[in-house]
Chains A and B, each alone.
Chain A
Amino acid sequence: AQSVAQPEDQVNVAEGNPLTVKCTYSVSGNPYLFWYVQYPNRGLQFLLKYITGDNLVKGSYGFEAEFNKSQTSFHLKKPSALVSDSALYFCAVRGSTGAGSYQLTFGKGTKLSVIP
């Protein structure tokens, strides 16, 4: 079974400072990893994904994530946080092989608050 852990329920960061939202995963085979952002009462917006290739993945709105296979981590990062980045962030994983569908398993989410 696949699983995702987001160890921090909430992350607070000052505007202009770098931010990191942590994610670790467990999956059979090679992982497909995703980050989504959710604003209040809104749907899930795709930020970035890791399928294969470079360990550093660049995504939307200046976000990036680093895949670390040995640590089974996929932390989300941004060099300079904006107040508008304040939202709920979900890390998700799915397996790359196997019969059947490829449903996503989500972490519990991390609430990011960027303080002006």
Chain B
Amino acid sequence: AAGVIQSPRHLIKEKRETATLKCYPIPRHDTVYWYQQGPGQDPQFLISFYEKMQSDKGSIPDRFSAQQFSDYHSELNMSSLELGDSALYFCASVVTSGNNEQFFGPGTRLTVL
């Protein structure tokens, strides 16, 4: 069965650089969630999209932005990277007409040097 795809799987950036993380949801899933998991931490909700519109916002810094495209894939754009942005970034997809179970991708590990 198709799963959530995230790219890249690993990313190394310098401070003050920008990064773009991509998420491809399971086919026919209309909702995407982004989570950030710092070292030794639990995943924290960043932002979500339903039908290409932002549906909720969590603890996402102003330096970050995201969007969902017409094919339902989503991109998380991160600017002015800081050392503290080093984390595992998960994307999860949901089909809203179902029981809203979230299926997680493998994550993108971002390291900021």
Number of interface residues of B (CB under 8 A): 26
A72-116 contact mask (Cβ, 8 Å, vs B): 1 or 0: 000000000000000000100010000011111111110000000
A101 engages B42 (CB within 8 Å):
no
| Interface positions of B (Cβ within 8 A of A) | 31, 33, 35, 41-45, 48, 50, 55-56, 58, 90, 92, 94, 99-107, 109
Q: Which candidate, A11-19, A22-30, A43-51, is the interface stretch facing chain B?
A: A43-51
Q: What are 7 A-B contacts with C-beta separation under 8 Å?
A: A34-B102, A42-B107, A44-B43, A46-B104, A100-B56, A101-B48, A101-B55
Task: Name A45's closest neighbour in chain B (CB-CB).
Answer: B104
**Chain A: interface residue total (CB-CB under 8 A):** 23
- Of the candidates A41, A49, A51, A90, the one whose C-beta lies within 8 Å of that of B43 is A90
Could you tell me if B56 and A51 are in contact, using CB atoms closer than 8 angstroms? no
